[in-house]
Amino acid sequence: MATSRTTGWWDREVDERGRRLRPDLRVTAHEIWDWACNTTRSQLGDSSATAEILDSAISQASAYLDRRNIPLGAHSESHLTGLMRRCFWYVLRRHMRQVRRLELIGGHSELGKLVADRSWSLQVDARIDFEKVVRLLSDRARIILVLRDAGYEWNEIAQRFGTTVTAVKKSFFRELRDLQLRLDSPAASPRKT
């Protein structure tokens, strides 16, 4: 393996999958190295990813020419340069999409705000409101509510009170509706507990 004289990029004979890379494309890659570094720097802000991107571009260009059974030396230097630049741009754009997906959205304080689970405080508030409303119900309605919450069916509750299902439901839901109307009215002020 030979390194580029002007960079730390390693010229390899095979790609990461073990496929042989075309020597004409490896020579072209050395020729466009400075352009590739400048292009990467202008798009990403630094050129540290250039070698990785160029390796992928050479691999893609080699595979393209090999699939078409194009022999070495069949293309002019300008054609290979154009092909390498095009492959480089394609791989760079894919890399930029990946980087954008991973971009941080802020510092540690902003991330902390996003990570904080506020659902527990909403659950606590809802539970407090529920308990306040339950205290405003009659004893009978509270018993019905507790029994329903425990999984009792309406017919079992009606038997306990010695009445019909219709009568139990009607009285319970009437009381809930009346309480809601009281709480929704502007003059209403629930008792403090």
pLDDT digits (tens, 9 = 90+) for 78-95: 888 999 999 999 999 988
Query: How large a percentage of the chain has pLDDT more than 90?
Result: 24
- 71: left (phi > 0), else alpha (psi -120 to 50), else beta? beta
User: What confidence tier does 157 reach under pLDDT thresholds 50, 70, 90?
Assistant: very high
Question: Contact at 8 Å (CB) between 149 and 134?
Answer: no
Architecture label for domain 117-184: Orthogonal Bundle (1.10)
Q: In three state form, how does the secondary structure of the chain look?
A: CEECCCCCCEECCECCCCCECCHHHHHHHHHHHHHHHHHHHHHHCCCCCHHHHHHHHHHHHHHHHHHCCCCCCCCCHHHHHHHHHHHHHHHHHHHHHHHHHHCCCCCHHHHHHHHCCCHHHHHHHHHHHHHHHHHHCCHHHHHHHHHHHCCCCHHHHHHHHCCCHHHHHHHHHHHHHHHHHHHHCCCCCCCCC
pLDDT in the model for residue 192: 47
Average pLDDT of span 154-182? 92
pLDDT in the model for residue 20: 77
Question: Contact at 8 Å (CB) between 28 and 80?
Answer: yes
**pTM beyond 0.75:** no
The gap between the terminal CA atoms of the chain, to the nearest Å, is: 82
Phi and psi of 77, rounded to 5°?
Answer: -60, -40
pLDDT in the model for residue 3: 41
Say how far apart CA 112 and CA 105 lie, in whole Å. 11
Of 145, 133, 135, which is closest to residue 171 (Cα–Cα)? Answer: 145
Q: Is the pLDDT of residue 190 over 60?
A: no
pLDDT in the model for residue 5: 40
The per-residue b/e assignment along 12-43, b for 16 or more CB within 10 angstroms, e otherwise, is eeebeeeeebbebbbebbbebbeebbebbeeb
